């Protein structure tokens, strides 16, 4: 099999047969001429299939070592489509440290379908099996988690899911396909917000679902078409462009993040730091076994509470205060008011999301400039 970097550039992206164009064209068409009634060339209507999106979906499957890829209009659209596999009366077991938008979806939307969720402490994998009920149909996790960057043993959880005939879905957004491929460890479904590292330039909103299970793919493809939350051809093209440089960018994100994490860990203004690449991280050994790199995300708790967070954020110049992550530029996020604002205060504290927690998406600027920016803000 070709190496990751080669597949990311070539898989599903052959030169255009009509013109020889090296880059996949943006097919801005809603519909396609049919040769006769019931006879077409593989495309009927662009909600169902579009050649630019087909190329993206092939690339997505390849970089995750999967057989089937599906692209969506956002990460939450991808998540919603996976959750559409469930029926009234079904039950989900989910890791307790997860994106606030996923929590909002589970508690404010999916619950209205008659589907309930039990949240399990991500640090205690045996509790996932304890939480399983006769009607449990899905286990949902993130690893690394958002925002506390916890790691869960995918292979161990896959064994639990398989033994109980339950689907295991893993949100792989934080690691990216370059550093981690959950299907290799037994997961059934991988989900991404392609808005983040796969797009990589903070210029699109998108999502993805990848699987090697043909039955699951058939169902998910049906829901993709029936629900219709698909990306435009242009957004598909932008994600394809991003995937081509994913390997190069992720190596730079990681290099910068490790450099800054080692600096921040020793700083007297930092109460606690979360970064999988530090030997002090509780699951550092598991990270090295399950991932090929440590990623570009850092979370930290500042001494001095919220007042210190406000001062810190106001003094940063290169780290922009903004939602999202995974772009080439560095961002600072305050989970309590931003990504995890949907969680009630009691839930946030229960899950360890304190008022002095900030999350850094480390970009690919020069590491010394980023360090100087943080030093100035902490001074």
Rounded mean pLDDT, 99-109? 97
Higher pLDDT among residues 251 and 345, named by residue: 251
Q: How many CB atoms lie within 10 A of CB 351?
A: 21
Q: Tell me, rounded to whole angstroms, the distance of Cα 271 from its chain centroid.
A: 27
Rounded to the nearest 10°, the torsion over CA 223, 153, 175, 53 is -20
- Residue 342 pLDDT grade (very low, low, confident, very high; cuts 50, 70, 90): confident
Mean pLDDT computed over every residue of the chain = 97
Rounded mean pLDDT, 310-332? 97
Contacts of 319 (CB under 8 A, 6+ apart): 330, 331, 332, 360, 370, 373, 374, 377
Let me know if 171 is a catalytic residue: yes
Rounded mean pLDDT, 142-147? 98
- Residue 145 pLDDT grade (very low, low, confident, very high; cuts 50, 70, 90): very high
Let me know if 178 is a catalytic residue: no
Catalytic residue among 90, 97, 171, 235: 171
What is the predicted pLDDT for the residue at 218?
Answer: 98
Let me know if 47 is a catalytic residue: yes
- Residue 242 pLDDT grade (very low, low, confident, very high; cuts 50, 70, 90): very high
In whole angstroms, give the CA distance from residue 190 to residue 173.
Answer: 9
> Could you report the per-residue pLDDT of 24-44, keeping only the tens digit for each?
999 999 999 999 998 998 899
> Could you report the per-residue pLDDT of 211-234, keeping only the tens digit for each?
999 999 999 999 999 999 999 999
DSSP 128-163: HHHH--TTEEEEEEESS-TTT-----HHHHHHHHHH
Residue recorded with tokens 């089937």:
68
Catalytic residue among 43, 47, 67, 315: 47
What is the predicted pLDDT for the residue at 108?
Answer: 97
Contacts of 206 (CB under 8 A, 6+ apart): 71, 72, 73, 74, 75, 193, 194, 195, 198, 199, 231, 235, 236, 238, 239
Rounded mean pLDDT, 8-15? 94
Rounded to the nearest 10°, the torsion over CA 49, 55, 56, 58 is 100
> Could you report the per-residue pLDDT of 112-128, keeping only the tens digit for each?
999 999 999 999 999 99
Let me know if 99 is a catalytic residue: yes
Q: How many CB atoms lie within 10 A of CB 203?
A: 12
Catalytic residue among 7, 150, 196, 249: 196
pLDDT of 1 higher than 90: no
Residue recorded with tokens 């792989």:
172
Catalytic residue among 7, 90, 97, 99: 99
What is the predicted pLDDT for the residue at 149?
Answer: 98
> Could you report the per-residue pLDDT of 51-101, keeping only the tens digit for each?
999 999 999 999 999 999 999 999 999 999 999 999 999 999 999 999 999
In whole angstroms, give the CA distance from residue 4 to residue 249.
Answer: 13
């Amino acid at each position: 099999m070709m190496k990751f970097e080669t597949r990311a550039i070539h898989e599903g992206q052959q030169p255009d047969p009509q013109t020889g164009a090296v880059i996949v064209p943006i097919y801005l068409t809603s519909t396609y001429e049919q040769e006769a009634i019931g006879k077409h060339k593989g495309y009927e209507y662009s909600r169902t299939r579009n050649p630019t999106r087909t190329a993206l979906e092939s690339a997505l499957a390849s970089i995750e070592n999967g057989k089937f890829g599906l692209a969506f209009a956002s990460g939450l659209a991808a998540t919603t489509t996976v959750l559409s596999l469930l029926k009234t009366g079904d039950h989900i077991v989910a890791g307790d440290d997860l994106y606030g938008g996923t929590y909002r979806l589970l508690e404010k939307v999916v619950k209205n379908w008659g589907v309930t969720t039990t949240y399990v402490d991500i640090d205690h994998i045996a509790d996932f099996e304890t939480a399983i009920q006769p009607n449990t149909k899905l286990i949902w996790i993130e690893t690394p988690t958002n925002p506390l960057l916890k790691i869960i043993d995918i292979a161990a959880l896959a064994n639990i899911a398989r033994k109980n005939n339950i689907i295991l879905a893993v949100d792989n957004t934080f690691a990216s396909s370059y550093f981690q491929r959950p299907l290799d460890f037994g997961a059934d479904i991988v989900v991404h917000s392609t808005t983040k590292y796969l797009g990589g330039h903070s210029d699109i909103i998108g999502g993805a679902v990848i699987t090697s299970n043909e039955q699951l793919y058939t169902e998910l493809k049906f829901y993709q078409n029936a629900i219709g939350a698909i990306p435009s051809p242009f957004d598909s093209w932008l994600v394809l462009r991003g995937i081509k440089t994913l390997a190069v960018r992720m190596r730079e994100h990681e290099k910068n993040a490790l450099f800054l994490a080692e600096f921040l860990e020793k700083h007297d203004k930092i109460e606690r730091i979360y970064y999988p690449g530090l030997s002090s991280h509780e699951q550092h050994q598991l990270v090295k076994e399950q991932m090929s790199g440590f990623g570009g995300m850092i979370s930290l708790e500042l001494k001095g509470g919220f007042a210190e967070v406000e001062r810190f954020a106001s003094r940063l110049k290169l780290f922009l205060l903004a939602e999202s992550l995974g772009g080439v530029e560095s961002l600072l996020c305050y989970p309590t008011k931003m990504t995890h604002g949907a969680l009630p205060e009691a839930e946030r504290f229960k899950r360890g999301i304190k008022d002095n927690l900030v999350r850094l998406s480390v970009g690919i600027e020069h590491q010394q400039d980023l360090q100087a920016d943080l030093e100035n803000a902490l001074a």
